[in-house]
Each structure stands twice: as C-alpha cells, then as structure tokens.
C-alpha cells in the first residue's frame, strides 16, 4: 500500500532546531511543529547528512555565514582531537 505524502507551506518561521530525535519549527504566531523520527532511524546521522548537503549546495550564497560555520566545526574538531 502506498503511503500518503503531504507538503505544507508556512510563512513567518522564527526558529528551526534539530535534535537527535526530532526537527522543530516555531512560527511567528507562537505555533510550532515538531517532527519526531521513527524508532530505528538515526536522527543525528540524518541531521548531519542534511547539513552537509545544504552547505554543499547553498553555502556559497553567504560566505560570511559559511566561514562562521567552518570556524565552529573547526573548533569542535580541534577540542575533540586535543581531548
């Protein structure tokens, strides 16, 4: 049996957040939407993969933000290597 698919369009997004088990969006009117990952899915891996894909395709559009992201990742990796 085919599973249904849906696409929703919202405006006024205030925040977007990721955890290892969900993705949440808060809208300007105070409403929010949270999508939980199903059991057995590796949410953390999916978030990392999507972030890499996003940066690969869209990162060049804002080099200042891309450089900030690079510095943040560089710092995290450096701390881990030194630990």
Q: What torsion, rounded to 10 degrees, do the Cα atoms 20, 23, 27, 30 define?
A: -60
Nearest-angstrom CA–CA distance, 62 and 9: 24
Nearest-angstrom CA–CA distance, 18 and 20: 7
pLDDT value for 13: 92
Whether residue 81 has pLDDT greater than 90: yes
For all residues of the chain together, what is the average pLDDT? 88
pLDDT value for 40: 63
Confidence of residue 1 (pLDDT cuts 50, 70, 90): low
Percentage above 70 pLDDT, the chain: 95
Q: What is the pLDDT of residues 17-57, one digit of tens each?
A: 988 888 899 999 889 999 888 766 788 888 899 999 999 99
């Amino acid at each position: 049996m085919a599973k249904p698919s849906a696409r929703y369009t919202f405006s006024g997004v205030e925040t977007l957040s990721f955890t290892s088990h969900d993705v949440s969006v808060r809208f300007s009117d105070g409403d929010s939407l949270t999508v939980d990952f199903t059991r057995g899915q590796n949410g953390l891996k999916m978030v990392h993969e999507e972030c890499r894909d996003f940066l690969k395709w869209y990162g060049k559009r804002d080099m200042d933000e891309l450089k900030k992201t690079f510095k943040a990742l560089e710092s995290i990796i450096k701390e881990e290597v030194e630990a």
